[in-house]
Amino acid sequence: MTSLVWVEHDTGAIKDATLSAVTAAAALGEVHVLVAGSGVGDVAAAAAQIAGVTKALSADDAAFDHVLPENVAPLIAGLMANYDAFVAPATANGKNIAPRVAALLDVMQISEILSVESADTFTRPTYAGNAIATVQSSDAKKVITVRGTAFEKAAREGGSGTVEAASGAGDAGLSSFVGAEISKSERPELTSAKIIVSGGRALQNSENFHSVIEPLADKLGAAVGASRAAVDAGYVPNDYQVGQTGKIVAPEVYIAIGISGAIQHLAGMKDSKTIIAINKDEDAPIFQVADIGLVGDLFKIVPELTGKL
């Protein structure tokens, strides 16, 4: 069985989420990858080097820039004549395009898989991760998205795949890209960081969030995350959100500061290796999952901690 894996990239670097998707696809059989966008030749060459990849398809067309699903999904659906499975990382792009591909193929997608049990059976989280379902697909072709934290990343080197050109119908004329406000940060990316420092509503405002959370994060070389409450209150932008509908993370160390631990937040971080919680309420649910807890006023504790590290 051969899978086609969607390569998430920014016309330069291949995103880590792709590497987890390659590992998941390798459990099903042979792995080919698809790189789409204008000027993606170098990315396709790099993707062919990922361990386990035997072929990289390069769809070099400006219609595929910005991953507009109206243009990209027909490309993939067309290529799927030669494949048994389409596998995408469960990123914003992967979640946007995969179901559109699935419906074009008349396939019921299997979302955010955690494991490959066999060629047609997978586990996936439901109810914000409170129930793990084992599902078996009767569709001839599979369309799958992969939760990045559940699979090891394939090595970026070690493959010796060939590169082949692929083409689709181009611009469907239904949609266009207008613009983006992408957060720029020198800090590590949330989904691939080894350490994450996250802040919650108890920070009270944006100024406090920046002056209390960020110095600690910088001292530890950590990424900065936030609870939904902190994002809703406008302390930080949406891309900081960790949780059921935000980012799913599993770093070595997750430090939750002033976060009570709502189900929706725990769903996004409870697979972290070590969880440290700082909260003034000793009954906060976050302490039920924390390996190390410290009860007290974060406005005293966090600056002291930053100073002593």
Partner 1 sequence: MKILVPVKRVIDYNVKPRVKMDGTGVDLTNVKMSMNPFDEIAVEEAIRLKEKGIATEIVAVSIGEQKAQETLRTALAMGADRAILVVSETEVEPLGVAKILQKIVEEEAPGLVILGKQAIDDDSNQTGQMLAALTGRPQGTFASAVVVEGDSVKVTREVDGGLETVSLKTPAIVTTDLRLNEPRYASLPNIMKAKSKPLAQKTPADYGVDVTPRLKTVKVSEPPKRSAGIKVADVDELVAKLKAMGVAA
Stretch 169-198 residues interacting with partner 1 (CB under 8 A): 173-183, 191, 195
User: Applying CB under 8 A, does 70 fall inside the site for partner 1?
Assistant: yes
Count of residues in contact with partner 1, rule CB under 8 A: 87
- Binding residue (CB under 8 A) for partner 1 from 9, 32, 100, 265: 100
Binding residue (CB under 8 A) for partner 1 from 3, 20, 23, 109: 109
Q: Is 289 one of the binding residues for partner 1 (CB under 8 A)? A: yes
Query: Could you tell me if 200 and 212 are in contact, meaning their C-beta atoms sit under 8 angstroms apart?
Result: no
Question: Does 91 contact partner 1 by CB under 8 A?
Answer: yes
Rg of the chain, C-alpha, whole Å: 21
| CA–CA separation, 83 and 29 (whole Å) | 11
Q: Does 206 bind partner 1 (CB under 8 A)?
A: no
Binding mask 124-163 for partner 1 (x = CB under 8 A): -xxxxxxxxxxxxxxx------------------------
Cα separation of 305 and 83, whole Å?
53
- Residue 94 Cα distances to 14, 100, 101, 112, angstroms: 14, 10, 10, 10
Report d(CA 109, CA 290) in Å as an integer: 34
Residues 223/189, Cβ–Cβ less than 8 Å: yes
The CB-of-201 to partner 1 minimum distance in angstroms stands at 15
Per-residue binding letters, 216-255, with partner 1 (x by CB under 8 A): ----x-------x--xx----xxx----xx-x----xx--
Cβ neighbour number for residue 140 with a 10 Å cutoff:
10
Least Å from the CB of residue 49 to partner 1: 24
* 80 belongs to the binding site for partner 1 (CB under 8 A): no
Q: Which amino acid, one-letter code, is at 289?
A: V
Reference 125, options 161, 177, 153, 90; nearest CA is 90
Residue placing its CB nearer to partner 1 in the complex, 73 or 154: 73
Compute the distance between CA of residue 150 and CA of residue 152 in angstroms, rounded to an integer: 7
Per CB under 8 A, 107 contacts partner 1: yes
Q: Is 81 in the site for partner 1 (CB under 8 A)?
A: no
**How many other CB atoms are found less than 10 A from the CB of residue 1?**
13
Annotated binding site for FAD: 201, 227-228, 241-245, 258-265, 279
Annotated binding site: 201, 227-228, 241-245, 258-265, 279
